[in-house]
């Protein structure tokens, strides 16, 4: 087997089998990224890289390629550029892959993207010329062969390409087989949807182990009761366990007059929930690391690092 080429810190650490942490940044509808850059700087000491989202929920934000470049440059944090097939056709995406590389991006996460119908521009044409698997295949073709559609690329891109997986999927088997397709397409790493159900996650990760793609487990530490409740209500297909909601609600009420203590309690509760969860999966050899999707919650990273390093 040819030696695996390394193009980024993420690629290097995954190849070395180090247990890693990645974060997530969600630029908004703005042309000024100073808040996101600040957040990136705060998480930079802890994470290997951070995802930069591409108009999540179909709600239009600043372009993720531009944001990824600026964040990487200004915050000095390696990014995982999220790229959806929702609003650019194959021709456009090929151009973006070359452009992304030219802007210094070395990791890309292939996503289908939420349908425009769900967002704040529902009248926009849904493109979906590619899908999340064929985007992976296309990037690998460009990177590995230096060609696109049989045409030489003068200076081919060098990027690592990852994909998403949803352990909560019901039915689960179709999701497992879909990961098989992504693996066949050349997927180099997987980041999962947020999980709370340990048994289900073990079942899913065990089933996809055969595809031999390193998995970063998606977790969502909840900064407050309102966020936990909102996540449970508004993120389809992800249920926050009732006992967690009750515990967070209790922290909210019990420490309502002492915000500092309340924050400490929330952080501690996250630690107590995620530590055994992650440790168990790690022990079973099902994980390459953890992907923390809690945006605007950088203070949780030192605590998470304790779990990662444990």
**Contacts with other proteins, residue ranges (CB under 8 A):** 86, 90, 111-112, 114-115, 117-118, 126, 128-134, 137, 164, 166, 169-171, 173-175, 177-178, 180-181, 184-185, 193, 236-237
Output the smallest distance, CB 71 to other proteins, in A.
24
String of DSSP letters for 166-220? -TT-SSHHHHHHHHHHHHHHT--EEEEEE---HHHHHHHHHHHGGG---EEEEE-
Q: Read off the tokens for 146.
A: 């230096």
Give min distance, CB of 137 to other proteins, in A: 7
- DSSP H helical segments within 17-89, as ranges? 34-43, 64-75
Contact 216, 291 (CB under 8 A): yes
When the beta carbons of 107 and 191 are compared against other proteins, the nearer one is 191
Cβ proximity to other proteins, 8 vs 132, nearer residue: 132
Q: Which is nearer to other proteins, 182 or 247 (CB)?
A: 182
Give whichever of 131 and 197 is closer to other proteins, judged by the CB atom: 131
* Nearest approach, Cβ of residue 236 and other proteins (Å): 5
Q: How far is the CB of 193 from other proteins (least distance, A)?
A: 7
Q: Which CB, 124 or 158, lies closer to other proteins?
A: 124
Q: Which residues contact 54 (CB under 8 A, 6 or more apart)?
A: 61, 63, 64, 82, 83, 84, 86, 111, 113
CB of 110 to other proteins, least distance (A): 11
What are residue 20's DSSP bridge partners? 289
CA distance 226 to 13: 35
């Amino acid at each position: 087997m040819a030696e695996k080429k390394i193009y980024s810190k993420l690629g290097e650490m995954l190849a070395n089998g180090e247990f890693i942490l990645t974060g997530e940044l969600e630029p908004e509808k703005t042309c000024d990224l100073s808040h996101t850059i600040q957040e990136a700087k705060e998480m930079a000491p802890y994470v290997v890289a951070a995802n930069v989202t591409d108009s999540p929920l179909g709600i239009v934000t600043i372009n993720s390629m531009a944001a990824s470049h600026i964040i990487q440059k200004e915050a000095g944090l390696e990014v995982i550029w999220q790229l959806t097939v929702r609003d650019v056709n194959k021709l456009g995406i090929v151009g973006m892959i070359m452009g992304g590389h030219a802007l210094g991006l070395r990791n890309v996460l292939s996503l289908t993207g939420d349908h425009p119908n769900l967002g704040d521009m529902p009248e926009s044409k849904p493109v979906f010329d590619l899908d999340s698997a064929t985007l992976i295949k296309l990037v690998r073709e460009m990177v590995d062969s230096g060609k696109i559609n049989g045409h030489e690329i003068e200076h081919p891109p060098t990027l690592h390409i990852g994909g998403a997986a949803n352990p909560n999927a019901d039915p689960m088997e179709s999701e497992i087989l879909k990961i098989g397709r992504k693996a066949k397409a050349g997927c180099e790493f997987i980041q999962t949807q947020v999980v709370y159900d340990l048994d289900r996650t073990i079942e899913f990760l065990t089933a996809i182990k055969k595809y031999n793609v390193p998995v970063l487990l998606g977790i969502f530490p909840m900064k407050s009761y309102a966020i936990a409740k909102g996540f449970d209500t508004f993120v389809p297909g992800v249920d926050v366990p009732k006992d967690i909601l009750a515990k967070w609600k209790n922290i909210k009420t019990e420490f309502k007059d002492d915000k500092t203590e309340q924050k400490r309690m929330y952080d501690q509760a996250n630690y107590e929930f995620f530590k055994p969860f992650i440790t168990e999966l790690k022990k079973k050899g099902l994980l390459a690391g953890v992907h923390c999707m809690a945006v605007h919650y950088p203070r949780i990273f030192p605590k998470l690092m304790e779990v990662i390093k444990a």
